[in-house]
Chains A and B, each alone.
Chain A
C-alpha cells in the first residue's frame, strides 16, 4: 500500500490517490457531450489584475525545450507579450524585475492530482475521489467532489510553482468519471477555478485496483481479464448510444454514456491509470478496437519497456521519478523510466498523484534527468522542464493556451530563486494569467484556506 511515512505509524490510511485505489485522466473541450449544448457548471474563473511586467536577466526555460540566458520575458494583459534575449527592449510602462541569478519557467502543471477530491485534513468525511459502488462510473464528475478550500492548493502554488492541475477521480473503478482541469487560483467555488476552455478528461484504470475493489465485493471484475470484459461491453453499449449522432439526437439522456460518447467523439481525453507494460499494450489495442485514443498512461512505471509502442501510438506516460514497490504492479519501477522514454522519442510527463509530491515536481524531474545521465542518456535542463510544463499541457489539451512561454499564451510564470532543477531552489514569485498570486517576499501575497483561519500556523510559511 502507498502510505505516508511517519503518518502510517499513527494509522494513516492511503485514502487518496490512484496508486492505491485506481486512476485515469482528462478530456478535451469544455463543451463536450452535454445534451443542452451549453456547458453546465461552466467556468467562472477570471484572471486577477496584473501589471505589465518584464523579467530581465534570468535564465529562461521556455517549457518547449528552449533556453535563453540573460533572457527577457514580457507579459501584460494576462498574456505573454514577448520572450527574448538581453536585446529585447522593455516597453515603457512595464514593471522591471531583476532576474539576474534567477530562473524563469512557465507555471508548473500537474496532470495528476487529487487536491480537492481527497483534500486535507484526510478524514473519511473528505474521501470524495472514488465512487466505488460500480466498476464503471463515467457519469461522475470530479468537479462535483472538489473542495476549493483544500489547503493543499496553496502549498502546490508556493512550494511547487503549480499554476494548472488536473483533478481526477481515483482508480477504484475501471472508468472513474470525468476529470477537471483547474487554474491554481483560490476561489469560493470550483467553477471559479475551472480552467476556461480546457477539455474534459475521463479517468480509466487498469490492473490491481478495480479487480481488487470489485472482486472483494464478489462481483466483476475480479481478474484482469474481467477488467477488459467489463470495459469492452461498456464501450460496445456506448458506441450504440454515440451512433445516434449529435447529443440532441440522443433522446433519452444517459450521463454515463454522454461521457463515453464524448470520448468516442474525440472531445474527452482518456487518462488511463496503468502500471504494467503488457497491460498498456492491451489498452492501446482496446482503444483501437473502439475508436478512441489514450492521451496518457498515468503511473506508468513500466513504460520504459515499451517506449517504441508508446511513441508509435502517440501516448504520453505520466510518471513519478522513482516510486516503486509499494504494490505488485509497481515492482519494476526504475528511476531511468523517464530518460529511457525520452530516448525512445516518447512523451514524458512527471506527475505527482500526491499532495506532497505536487510541491516538488521540479525536483522529481531533476532526479529522473540525473538517473538518465548516469546511464549515458543526456537530456538538457530545458527539455526536462517541458516534462512538467508543455508536455502535461499537451496531454491535457491545454497546450494552445498555456504550458510554454510563447507570445499570446497565458502568462502563467514562475520566477525561481535558483535553477529549478536544483534541490536548493524555490519559487520566488508566481504569476497566473499575469496576476501575481504568490510572492515569497510578501506574507500577504499567498493564499490561506478558510480551513486554516484561526488555526495554529495560520499564514505561516508552510
Chain B
C-alpha cells in the first residue's frame, strides 16, 4: 500500500516490502524521528522505532547499516514520535453527553451496589469522546466511575482507544474510594463518618476473605464485600481521592493498619506539602496539572507547582483528571504547561522529558502496566504517535496514530462537521446533502 497517501503532511518516502501488510497489526519501522521514548528522557534526533506483531521491538538512535526486515518503513523526516498518550482518570466510553443522564454511565446513585460496580462492563468503544481523543494522540486511558451513594465509587478499568470492538486492556484495575470533603458528604456528613465507613468495609472484606463474614450484621452487600477482597489482599489497587495535606497524612498512616493495600492517591492538590512523606511511602499520585485555586477548603494550598515539587521530592506523579471539559486530548497541553513553569521564577515545573512521562509511562506504571504501555521500550504495546510538531506544543497534532501496531482512523463527528461546514455554499442542495 502506498504510505504516501497516508502521510501527506510528512511527505514520507515509503519503502514498500515484498510481503503483504497484515490486516491487523502491521510490522513497521519509523526512521529519522525526533524520538521521545516516554520514560522521562529527553528527545533525541535521528531516532527509530520498530514495531512487530503489535509490539515495540526496538526504539532508539538509528542503527547504521543493517537492513530492515519489516513490511513498511516511514521516513519521519525529523517529525516527532512518541508513545501514545495515556490519559489517567477519564470517563471515556461511559458518556455520550455529560449532561444527558440517559447517555451517562459514570455514576449510579440509586444502585444498591457500589464497590462491585465495574465500568469495564459498560465501555462503548464507539463513543465520540474515544474517537476525538484518539485523533488527539490518546491511545490508552484509565476509566473511573464516579461515586453514587457511597465513598466507594467502584472499579475502574484500563482501556485502549482503538477503533475496534475490544476496548478493555485491564478490567477491574482499581477500586476508587472518595475521602476528604466529598467522602464526608457521601459517608453521611463528616470525615469522621468516612473514616469509619472505610475501615468497616475493609474489616468486612477481611472477614469475608477468611469466611467469618456475617451477612446479617454486615453493612455491605455480598457483591460489594466480595469485590473488596482483592483490595485488602493487595491484588487490586486502591485509588484514594484526597486533596488536603492532613487527609493525605491520615491515608498514609492507614498503611500500618492495612499493610497490604496498594494505594494510589488521586487529586492531592496539597501533596507538595507532604511530598517527602509520599516519596518515603512510595505512594504514587495522579494529580491535576494546573489546579491553583482554593476551590474547596481542602485545596487551600493548591498551586501549579504541586506536580513539580512532588516529582522533585521523588514522588511518582501522573497528570490526570480528564473528564468533562478537561479533555484527554488536552493532556499534552497540561504537560506542556508544567514545562513552562520551569521558566517562571520560584515555580517548580518539569523537564520536557518528565512532562511527557507524566502522560505516558508514569500513568502506565501507576496502573500496574509499566513496561507494557506508555513507553517505546521493547516489549511494550505498539502505541505510537507521529506528530506534526512538538507534541506538547499548542500548535501540534498527530499525523498518525497506532494502537497495538494498528494504524487508527482519526475521523469522527467533529471532523465530519468540519468538512460539511468548510464552506456555507448551499446553492445546489442543503448542507444536509454534503
Contact = CB atoms under 8 A, between A and B. Distances in A.
Contact of A155 (B182, B293, B305, B340): B293
Interface string A416-458: 0110011111100000000000001101000000011001110
A456 B324 contact: no
Contacts of B160: none
A370 B345 contact: no
A123 B298 CA distance: 12
Q: How large is the interface on B (under 10, 10 to 19, 20 to 34, 35 or more residues)?
A: 35 or more
B315 interface: no
A460 B301 contact: yes
Q: Chain A: interface secondary structure?
A: loop
Interface in B297-341: 297-305, 320-327, 329-330, 333, 336-337, 339-341
Nearest to B106: A8
Interface in B347-387: 347
A4 B396 CA distance: 25
Contact of B245 (A6, A359, A363, A456): A456
Contacts of A460: 301, 303, 305
Nearest to A7: B295
A440 B418 contact: no
Contact of B267 (A10, A325, A344, A456): A10
B424 A5 contact: no
B324 A2 contact: yes
Interface string B242-267: 01010000000000000000000011
Contacts of B414: 324, 333-335
Interface in A1-37: 1-12, 19-20
Interface stretch (B71-79, B94-102, B213-221): B94-102
Interface residues of A, number: 76
Contact of B292 (A20, A159, A367): A159
A375 B422 CA distance: 9
A332 interface: yes
A461 B303 contact: yes
B391 to A, nearest CB: 10
A367 B393 CA distance: 9
A417 B343 contact: yes
Given A155-B293, A417-B343, A462-B292, A326 B98 contact: yes
A328 B323 contact: no
B236 interface: no
A356 interface: yes
Contacts of B99: 1-2, 20, 208, 326-328
B318 to A, nearest CB: 12
A145 to B, nearest CB: 18
A360 B337 CA distance: 10
A369 interface: yes
Nearest to A19: B325
Given A366-B395, A375-B422, A457 B178 contact: no
Contact of B295 (A122, A328, A424): A122
A38 B349 CA distance: 51
Contact of A423 (B185, B324, B340): B340
A342 to B, nearest CB: 13
A152 B325 contact: no
B137 interface: no
A96 interface: no
Contacts of B100: 327-328
A340 B417 CA distance: 12
A406 to B, nearest CB: 27
B294 A461 contact: no
B15 to A, nearest CB: 27
B333 A367 contact: yes
Contacts of A426: 340-341, 343-344
A1 B99 CA distance: 4
B33 interface: no
Contacts of A121: 294-297, 299
Contacts of A336: 418
Contact of B153 (A9, A20, A151, A333): A9
Contact of A10 (B183, B347, B397, B422): B183
B418 A334 contact: yes
B301 A455 contact: yes
B323 A461 contact: no
A143 to B, nearest CB: 22
Contacts of A2: 98-99, 324-325
B322 A5 contact: yes
Contacts of B344: 417, 426, 440, 461
B125 interface: no
A370 B398 CA distance: 12
A6 to B, nearest CB: 3
B275 interface: no
Contacts of B326: 4-5
A223 interface: no
A138 B82 CA distance: 53
Interface centre among A340, A369, A423 (most CB of B within 10 A): A423
Interface centre among A363, A441, A457 (most CB of B within 10 A): A457
B288 interface: yes
A422 B394 CA distance: 6
A274 B99 CA distance: 16
Contacts of A308: 424
Interface centre among B176, B302, B431 (most CB of A within 10 A): B302
Given A370-B397, A457-B300, A363 B321 contact: no
A331 interface: yes
A11 B182 contact: yes
A12 B146 contact: no
B118 interface: no
Nearest to A322: B327
A120 interface: yes
A323 interface: yes
Contacts of B266: 6, 9
B273 interface: yes
Contacts of A355: 293, 295
A421 B394 contact: yes
18 contacts: A1-B99, A6-B320, A7-B321, A8-B323, A8-B324, A122-B296, A151-B293, A325-B95, A325-B96, A326-B325, A331-B413, A334-B418, A355-B293, A366-B394, A421-B395, A423-B339, A423-B392, A423-B394
Given A6-B291, A423-B394, 17 more contacts: A1-B98, A2-B325, A9-B176, A324-B132, A325-B96, A326-B325, A327-B97, A328-B97, A360-B290, A374-B397, A421-B394, A425-B340, A426-B341, A426-B343, A456-B270, A457-B270, A460-B303
Sorted from nearest, which 10 A-B pairs have the closest CB atoms? A10-B182, A457-B301, A6-B321, A423-B336, A5-B321, A327-B99, A456-B301, A11-B182, A5-B326, A366-B394
